[in-house]
Structure 1
Amino acid sequence: MEQLVTFLTGLPALPIFEEKINPFLSSHNLISSQSVLDNLHTVLYIAVFYHIVYLIGAWAVFPIPSKWKVNYDETHAKDEEARLHIQRHKHKKVKHLSIQASIHFISFLQTVVVLYLSFVFFLDRKVSGSESYPDSDARIFGECRETQLVCMFGCGYFIWDAYISACHSTFPFFVHGVVSTAAYYIGLKPYLQYYAPVFLMFELSNPCLNIRWFGLKFFPQESKVCNLILLLNNLLLMTIFFFGRILWGWYQTFMLCYDFYNVRNDPRFMLWDTVIVVTCNLTIDLLNVIWFSSMVSIAVKVLTGTKTVQNEKKTQ
């Protein structure tokens, strides 16, 4: 993982950034932060990297298992009408499943990268301990290389995520990508960089979320073993989601607002950036509550026997 991070962050800026893009953005006051301008090429390289991996997955890797799964569904269709429906839309189903599988793979990959960077930060007490961040001033205005890397990878990924959600997902996921991009862009300025790895603890639930998706889409529908695996994964997902996104998320949003309040009279305090970040975090916190409520609703139906684990795929 360290090799991947070093490779992407070590790529030099193309001449067009120094000669055209950065001077244009700076002269028109579109980006005033020198830190953002210095790392803009890396942020875009990260977004491009994720898109290249996505394209490889969508067009070379996942069509094979997707075709197998569609053929499996056709063979095991409950009736002739269902079999003919799958047969008529086979190419479209394979393409759609391949695209969605690649998106979820990138989500899993990003989770591994940012959690690695976040834990590198948290486990180094010299960097993240109370001596380095003793008060609100340090947490809002402080900066270090570790948190800068988190912001760069967060910003690069969510640029790609917003784009891909606009093309292939629903509006709430697009909103999630946009507000997350804005939050990590502000963090890169630097502003409240300490909270970048803090809020990326949200990603702890993503491995279970992606395992759940792959299980629903690719596991045999009638397998009791697969259903058990999915059920256990769903329980783990809900537990991590509740503690990592609901409790941790709302608590850290409160702490963030508390720190903002303490530095409100500091000349470096950025009112509009503060408003944007707080709004972004509240939006994501509310989306997390909505998504968790949906999980609980489905779990209740599964436990009461009105829906099976595999039947969830019809609502995905």
Structure 2
Amino acid sequence: MSVNSTLASSQATIQTVDPLLKYSWFPQSKNYYALHLHEIVYAFLFYQFISSYIAPMINAFIFRERYTSIKDKKLKIDFDIHVVSMVQAFVSLYIIWPVLTLPLFTYNIATYQNDYCSMITALSSGYFVWDLIVCLKYIHIYGFQFLIHAIVALYGSLVPLMPVVQVWVPKFLVYEASTPFVNINWFIMQLTTPPSSSTLKPVKVPLWFNALNGVCLMAVFFIVRIVWGNLAQFMFFYQMFKYRHEMSTLKATLSFVLALVTLVLNMLNFFWFDKMLKIAKKLASPSNKNKKKD
């Protein structure tokens, strides 16, 4: 079998059709931002709906008085945001699956475009538009660090629509595999350590469940963000260098900034993983066990 036929055979198993493209407001446009604008807007409205209506209902149903009695505005918003984050993580992991096997070294990152990958980056952009608005609206609560993160994330999701580096879209979104465990860990903390102003007693979460989630969080975080994240970073820079002459000045500049952004985020992953290790070490220390027995 020839190389071309092998490639054609493998490509046939990879999703390339955007099922939402038929709803485009500008179906004849050659500009991918206009072509996929409807997906950005619909995704934003979807997450806004989840935040305003579904998240409060879910939190009230699951956590009951521990949610409904909250007087701290920031904490209540945090509950809803973590639900939206959980939904976004599962949506992202679901939609990237059909293109996760796109071969990295087969396609030219300067020119490759896949309608399905464009859909993914558009839907992700819609979420990060929502995230940016939330950070702007509550900047007095969350501060500039979350606002900067939202701006960086939105930038990273919009650049591939030029199109450029689209083959990397599903590869970097696989980071979201650790998000559900992060959110579960946050919810456990809210149950076991209620606010000092609250009269509610701490909930006893089974130790095995807490430990299992902690192990899964650290394992998945290490695999997708530390191991894969840094390997991907190296390959991304390599491809940027390899195809730099085939990119326009604008594409090359924006892609280079994107590469630097992912590098900074990868450095932050080391910081967060180190923090996880210290917390795990503290919880496993003999002194901490003795305190629990007492």
Question: TM-score surpassing 0.5?
Answer: yes
Displaced runs of 4 or more, over 6 A = none
Q: 2:117 aligns with which of 108, 122, 147?
A: 147
Aligned letter for 2:115? Answer: R
Aligned-residue CA RMSD in angstroms? Answer: 2.9
Structure 1 residues 260 and 212: CA distance shift in structure 2, 3 A: same
Gaps of 5+ in 2: 1-17, 193-200
1:244 Cα deviation (Å)?
0.6
Structure 1 residues 59 and 254: CA distance shift in structure 2, 3 A: same
1:245 Cα deviation (Å)?
0.6
Give me the whole-angstrom Cα distance separating, in 2, the residues matched to 1:112 and 1:193.
20
Contact residue 118 and residue 166 of structure 2 kept, 8 A: yes
Aligned letter for 1:134? Answer: T
**How many corresponding residue pairs?**
260
Give me the whole-angstrom Cα distance separating, in 1, the residues matched to 2:59 and 2:23.
29
1:111 Cα deviation (Å)?
1.0
1:64 Cα deviation (Å)?
5.3
Query: Is it true that 1:111 corresponds to 2:96 in the alignment?
Result: no
Contact residue 183 and residue 276 of structure 1 kept, 8 A: no
Structure 1 residues 157 and 10: CA distance shift in structure 2, 3 A: farther
Identify the residue that residue 299 of structure 1 maps to in structure 2.
280
Give me the whole-angstrom Cα distance separating, in 1, the residues matched to 2:61 and 2:288.
30
Give me the whole-angstrom Cα distance separating, in 1, the residues matched to 2:267 and 2:230.
9
Query: Is it true that 1:187 corresponds to 2:160 in the alignment?
Result: yes
1:11-160 to 2 correspondences below 5 Å? 11=23, 13=25, 34-63=31-60, 65-66=62-63, 68-69=65-66, 91-93=70-72, 95-122=73-100, 128-129=102-103, 134-135=106-107, 138-160=108-130
Cα deviation digits, residues 92-146 of structure 1 (max 9, x gap): 14x54432222111111111111111111125xxxx247xx515xx234211122
Gaps of 5+ in 1: 23-32, 72-89, 312-316
Identify the residue that residue 247 of structure 1 maps to in structure 2.
227
Identify the residue that residue 177 of structure 2 maps to in structure 1.
204
Contact residue 125 and residue 157 of structure 2 kept, 8 A: yes
- Larger mean CA deviation between 190-199 and 160-169 belongs to 160-169
Structure 1 residues 230 and 172: CA distance shift in structure 2, 3 A: farther
Aligned letter for 1:43? Answer: I
Query: Is it true that 1:290 corresponds to 2:266 in the alignment?
Result: no
Give me the whole-angstrom Cα distance separating, in 2, the residues matched to 1:277 and 1:190.
13
Contact residue 117 and residue 149 of structure 1 kept, 8 A: no
